[in-house]
Amino acid sequence: MNRLRIRPSSAGPRRSVSPASTPPGPFASSLILLVGLAIACVTGCGGDEASQAPGRTAGWSHYGGDAGGSRHSPLDQITPENVDQLEVAWTYHTGDLLDGISYQPGNDDAAKSSHAATSFQNTPILIDRTLYTCTPFNRVIALDAETGEEEWTFDPKVSLDGMYLLNCRGVSAWTDSRARAGEACQTRIFTGTIDARLIALDARTGEPCPGFGRDGTVDLTEGVGDPKPGEYGVTSPPVVLGDRVITGAMVLDNRRVDAPSGVVRAYSARTGRRLWAWEALVPGQATSQRGRYERGTSNAWTALSADPDRNLVFVPTGNTSPDYFGGHRDGLDHYSSSIVALDGDTGEVVWHFQTVHHDIWDYDVAAQPVLFDFPSEQGAVPAVAAATKMGHLFVLDRLTGKPLLPVEERPVPGRAVPGEAPLSPTQPFPVKPPPLHPATLTPDDAFGFLPWDRSACRKRIEDARSEGIFTPPSTQGTIQYPGMVGGMNWGSLSVDAGRRLLVVNNQRVATYIRLVPRAEYDAMVEERGGAPAFGFEPQEGTPYALERYPLLSPYLGAPCNPPPWGTLTAIDLATGDVVWDVPLGNTRDLAPWPIWWLLGDLGVPNIGGPITTASGLTFIGATTDGYLRAFKTATGEELWRTRLPTSAHATPMTYRVDPAGKQYVVVAAGGHLLLGTTPGDTLIAYALPD
């Protein structure tokens, strides 16, 4: 949809703090806000006084709010009644910005990667009274939580060789129970880098912890198989369980059969010594004890979760390399596209649940598993929720992996390309909650704002295989629906246990995929004097390369599938029933005015997740339209929205550090190259007025 985007790119100053200000918004929203404030003041503005009264404090100590990723806060100062009074409390510009076209000063190595772009997808954590965030260049920054003033920065000086999309979604913290009070590195910030290092920093000073690894750093490339530049790194925060720090890694999709290993490793949080390694190997095949790992295995690139009470770590796995052909795997994808529960002491598999059998659709589990107590008739049952790119939500027993809400195997399309391994005749489908994404896209479903757009979309669907979800990739061309990014992606979901609701956002944009016979691909490479344009991927070691792109109309660039292209949904935790479902976002910044205004909240592409609060609010950015929104959790009613400098493809967080102080809602507005939104570098905090 880049053709519809008419917004110029811009960058703010490095490391600046600005005073409170009200961001621009639509005229109608501004008018409603002004009228609401006037009415409130006529009645004495008593709500403001009550909102600032001493009360509950709460932090956000983990990427997902807590070790289990619930993304829920017990805070209640900001309520459905006063949320429309929120205003900017402070802003911070990291200065680490690369727009994919021109380089912004700040990192000399970026000149080597002028086609790359940053995506500031970070969710900060709060330790004591300090926020810790990381930038797409992996700089770690500590900020005063109430003022946004910079306390320290650490620059690992990452290499950007081979990178095309730069991000760091979060950091993790650990306090050494054996250290003396005030001792250096008593509390540590752990960060993984896009060039595959695990670094431990002193939380007070930002200095590397000398006793961890070599001068504060562990080299994660050791034993994984000679990664090429940009092919292997860490984009999600490691998880801390006891005195262990555990991490997977991103392995670049669709490059080659012998891609770097997807091994998950645990290290001593004190020394950096490797404690165990888990490889997604065929059951019974021994895990390497010599530090050499099997290439091409399923990786874990998104956030892991931990259950400290039960000493379990929950690993959401990706695909066996490459994604769209598996004729060579020979059972190596036994653990792909799964939730795997590992023993925290040994790394041994306790159980696993596979969401896709023999995945050849890039339907890896992108969302952090979320731990909660399932309210059964017999009482609370420890549970884990897995949100998937298919729009499927699986609710599993945390101790056994058995479904707590019904799942059934259903027949799916067959007929794979020559050379592919036998496909599974069935795939697991949740009965409750029902799938949140449509499962079919037919020519009659084709959408277009204009008749010729719709006609072109219809023909594209007619010319390809489109037999519903799990239609296999083909040399003819296949419509992949849900598409390659979901469904639900790494933003995951939020659980409001008090209201017994699970809230999740969902994207609906189809993908066109075609397996390109090797001879045809090689001829393209020879003719062009190099690799084909963006949209083609080599899948070296297989009989086919890959052509893949979002299925958009050729004129206006809108999705060929009908809207809504994005939704926000609440699910009853006990029954799995849909409580409410609303479109998420409008086409502002995708379509010119007044078209986007006339269309209203049609629902747009989105990446990034929601959070919920005890007062009954759901906050979410995620959308391509550049808004942060607040919804009433019980009903799905939108109560507030504000314009951001660019789209926030990051999950917000919230905290209150002082009983007499303010509750803050913080979000990173950083854009996303693949969604066509402008890269940004702004961290913004909102609070109620004094």
Residue 391 φ/ψ, nearest 5 degrees: 80, 15
pLDDT of residue 137: 95
Structure tokens that stand for 225 in this block:
């198989």
pLDDT of residue 168: 96
Spatial separation of the C-alpha atoms in residues 475 and 463, rounded to whole Å = 12
Bridge partners for 578 per DSSP: 571
> Which 3-state string (H, E, C) describes 545-597?
EEEEEECECCCCCCECCCCCCEEEEEEECCCCCEEEEEECCCCECCECCCHHH
Cis peptide before 487 (omega within 30 of 0): yes
Q: How far is CA 552 from the centre of its chain?
A: 23
Instruction: List the one residue out of 234, 205, 254, 250 whose CA is nearest residue 549.
Output: 254
pLDDT of residue 103: 37
Torsion-angle region of 206 (φ positive above 0: left; ψ -120 to 50: alpha; else: beta): left
Q: Mean pLDDT across the stretch 357-384?
A: 96
Instruction: List the one residue out of 361, 673, 367 whose CA is nearest residue 510.
Output: 361
pLDDT tens-digit profile of 235-244? 999 999 999 9
pLDDT tens-digit profile of 592-637? 777 778 888 999 999 999 999 999 999 999 999 999 999 999 999 9
Contact (CB, 8 A) for 142 and 132: yes
Instruction: List the one residue out of 406, 401, 353 whose CA is nearest residue 381.
Output: 401
Q: Mean pLDDT across the stretch 142-159?
A: 97
pLDDT of residue 2: 33
Show the beta-strand stretches assigned E in 388-537. 393-397, 407-411, 426-430, 478-480, 493-496, 501-507, 511-517, 536-537
Structure tokens that stand for 684 in this block:
């913004």
Q: 30 or 129: which carries more pLDDT confidence?
A: 129
Structure tokens that stand for 531 in this block:
């690799």
Q: Mean pLDDT across the stretch 388-409?
A: 98
CA dihedral (176, 180, 185, 187) in degrees, to 10, reads 50
pTM of the model: 0.90
pLDDT-derived band of residue 285, with 50, 70 and 90 as boundaries?
low
Instruction: Pinpoint the alpha helices (H) of 463-538.
Output: 518-528
> Exposed, middle or buried, 529 (CB in 10 Å: 0-12/13-18/19+)?
exposed
Contact (CB, 8 A) for 507 and 485: yes
Q: 688 or 21: which carries more pLDDT confidence?
A: 688
pLDDT of residue 18: 36
**Torsion sign across C-alpha atoms 401, 404, 410, 416:** negative
Contact (CB, 8 A) for 516 and 548: no
Percentage of residues in the chain having pLDDT higher than 70: 89
pLDDT of residue 55: 80
pLDDT of residue 29: 36
Cβ-Cβ contacts under 8 Å for 670 (sequence gap 6 or more):
118, 119, 120, 121, 122, 136, 167, 646, 647, 648, 649, 650, 679, 680, 681, 682
In the predicted structure, residue 312 carries a pLDDT above the cut 60: yes
Residues in the chain: 690
Instruction: List the one residue out of 367, 368, 361, 364 whose CA is nearest residue 336.
Output: 364
Distance, first Cα to last Cα, the chain: 41
Q: Mean pLDDT across the stretch 444-463?
A: 95
Spatial separation of the C-alpha atoms in residues 610 and 665, rounded to whole Å = 12
Residue 330 is among the residues annotated as catalytic for this protein = no
In the predicted structure, residue 87 carries a pLDDT above the cut 60: yes
In the predicted structure, residue 681 carries a pLDDT above the cut 80: yes
Cis peptide before 433 (omega within 30 of 0): yes
Q: Which helix (H) or strand (E) holds 49?
A: helix 46-51
Instruction: List the one residue out of 599, 601, 598, 597 whose CA is nearest residue 586.
Output: 601
**Torsion sign across C-alpha atoms 104, 110, 116, 122:** negative
In the predicted structure, residue 21 carries a pLDDT above the cut 50: no
Spatial separation of the C-alpha atoms in residues 85 and 392, rounded to whole Å = 36
DSSP 236: S
What is the bridge-based pairing of β-strands 165-166 and 274-278?
unpaired
Instruction: List the one residue out of 54, 75, 187 whose CA is nearest residue 128.
Output: 187
Spatial separation of the C-alpha atoms in residues 408 and 517, rounded to whole Å = 35
Which of 66, 96, 359, 362 does the annotation list as catalytic?
362
pLDDT tens-digit profile of 202-237? 999 999 999 999 999 999 999 999 999 999 999 999
> Exposed, middle or buried, 49 (CB in 10 Å: 0-12/13-18/19+)?
exposed
> Reduced to 3 states, what is the DSSP secondary structure of residue 689?
coil
pLDDT of residue 162: 84
Contact (CB, 8 A) for 92 and 148: yes
Which of 173-187, 559-573, 581-595, 642-656 is least confident? 581-595
What's the maximum distance between 2 C-alpha atoms anywhere in the chain? 76
Architecture of domain 170-404: 8 Propeller (2.140)
